[in-house]
């Protein structure tokens, strides 16, 4: 809760001290809960774009955005935490000057942000965002530049999530799935994207050997999904072998088990039964 004593300068000083105290308490709470180190760190814009793949950008102009949609920064990740609370006294003088201006009702310029899906990253205006949070605002004016990426930012919460996104982007470059197929093929362990990419490429190589002609990556990806992936996932669902895995993880596991057990690439009831029995024995 903001404090209003009728003395704006004193209130602004109190605002900063309160924000610093909350930041320290947040770090302590994260440590007590044994949360990952990156839980309170804002997302670095350059790392996010590198993981997702830059596909272009477009200026959208002045908009009103929600403060809780701002999750990262272009170049100030060390001065503020994920909730834009100051991490040291280094920013205090400028911070209190902006807080004082807000309390006096003075005009404050809009911030500048990059937008990736529904996430925003501050290019200019970190102190303004921090003060707005401290004063209990829910929205802020911003000049927005939309950044298009090759992989969706959906699911990114912490810095560690970028590893999964990076591997997914590389997988989709090797296996260019589109539409529903692209949305359906999901794994949670980043290394599984590498294994799956190798698996699809091997499947495509065998396909070209069988048919005696070359296929490009897009064709192989589409045919693997319709001729291999969907039928196998359907059988796994009927056999009750999906459980808590994603359907792609279940497919990848059973495909590996099938090959290790019988060195074959066919799918029939005998194969499914053998793999299922092996899973029960583990």
> What token pair was written down for 117?
């899906």
pLDDT digits (tens, 9 = 90+) for 108-140: 899 999 999 999 999 999 999 999 998 889 999
| The pLDDT of residue 216 | 94
Residue 143, strand partner residues? 62, 112
pTM of structure = 0.71
| Complete domains list, the chain, with CATH | 8-149 (3.90.1530.10), 175-281 (no CATH)
Q: Quick one: which H or E segment has residue 98? A: helix 92-103
3-state helix, strand, coil in the chain (%, to 5): 55, 15, 30
> What token pair was written down for 42?
């804002």
Q: Quick one: which H or E segment has residue 19? A: helix 8-32
Give mean pLDDT, residues 66-95: 87
Higher pLDDT, 7 or 203: 203
Altogether, the residues listed in the chain come to a count of 282
pLDDT at 281 over 60: no
CA 197 to chain CA mean position, Å: 20
Tokens 């006096």 belong to which residue?
A: 104
Rg (CA), the chain: 25
| The pLDDT of residue 260 | 60
Give mean pLDDT, residues 169-177: 93
Mean pLDDT, rounded, of the chain? 84
pLDDT digits (tens, 9 = 90+) for 182-240: 999 999 888 899 989 999 998 999 999 999 999 999 999 999 999 999 998 898 888 77
């Amino acid at each position: 809760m903001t404090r209003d004593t009728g003395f704006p300068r004193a209130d602004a000083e109190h605002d900063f001290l309160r924000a610093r105290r909350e930041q320290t308490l947040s770090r302590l709470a994260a440590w007590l809960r044994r949360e990952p180190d990156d839980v309170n760190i804002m997302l670095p814009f350059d790392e996010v774009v590198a993981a997702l793949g830059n596909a272009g950008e477009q200026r959208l102009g002045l908009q009103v955005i929600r403060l809780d949609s701002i999750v990262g920064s272009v170049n100030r990740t060390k001065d503020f935490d994920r909730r834009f609370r100051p991490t040291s006294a280094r920013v205090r003088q400028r911070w209190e000057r902006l807080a004082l201006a807000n309390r006096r009702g003075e005009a404050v310029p809009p911030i500048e942000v990059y937008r990736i899906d529904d996430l925003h990253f501050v290019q200019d205006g970190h102190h303004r965002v921090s003060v707005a949070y401290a004063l209990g605002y829910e929205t802020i004016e911003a000049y927005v530049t939309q950044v298009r990426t090759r992989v969706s930012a959906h699911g990114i919460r912490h810095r560690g999530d970028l590893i999964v996104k990076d591997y997914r982007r590389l997988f989709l470059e090797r296996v260019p799935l589109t539409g529903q197929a692209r949305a359906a093929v999901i794994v949670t362990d980043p290394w599984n994207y590498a294994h799956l990419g190798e698996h699809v490429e091997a499947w495509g190589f065998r396909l070209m050997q069988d048919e005696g002609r070359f296929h490009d990556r897009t064709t192989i990806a589409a045919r693997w999904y319709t001729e291999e992936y969907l039928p196998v996932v359907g059988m796994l669902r009927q056999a009750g072998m999906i459980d808590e895995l994603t359907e792609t993880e279940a497919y990848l596991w059973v495909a590996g088990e099938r090959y290790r057990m019988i060195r074959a690439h066919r799918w029939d009831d005998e194969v499914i039964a053998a793999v299922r029995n092996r899973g029960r024995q583990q």
